[in-house]
Amino acid sequence: MKLARKNSRLKKQCEGKRKYSSAEEAHKLGVAHLWKQGKVRAPYHCRFCRKWHITTTYRGFIKEKMMKEFAI
């Protein structure tokens, strides 16, 4: 894949997401807050902006689905 196309794809994935300066900050300000709402998220390091974002995890997706289905 050409570098320009790869950077364009990474930029699109990064746009509109909140940026955190560290994994600890992302966890403290984003993940912990969402956990209280029953959502499982994890911080990840963005290769485009070199900051941290929050993403859903497969385990979290299943937990959220079960919570909705069984009204937990």
* pTM score of the predicted model: 0.62
Q: How many folded domains does the chain comprise?
A: 1
Q: How many helices (H) and strands (E) does the chain have?
A: 4, 2
Q: For residue 36, is it within any domain?
A: yes
pLDDT in tens, 19-67: 999 988 988 888 888 777 777 788 889 988 999 998 876 666 666 666 6
pLDDT in tens, 8-22: 877 788 888 899 999
Q: For residue 57, is it within any domain?
A: yes
Please enumerate, as own/partner, the contacts of 22-31 that have beta carbons within 8 Å and a separation of 24 or more. Answer: 22/52, 23/52, 25/52, 26/52, 26/53, 26/54, 30/54
Residue 50 domain boundaries:
18-70
> What pLDDT, on a 0 to 100 scale, did the predictor assign at position 31?
82
Distance CA 61, CA 66 (A): 9
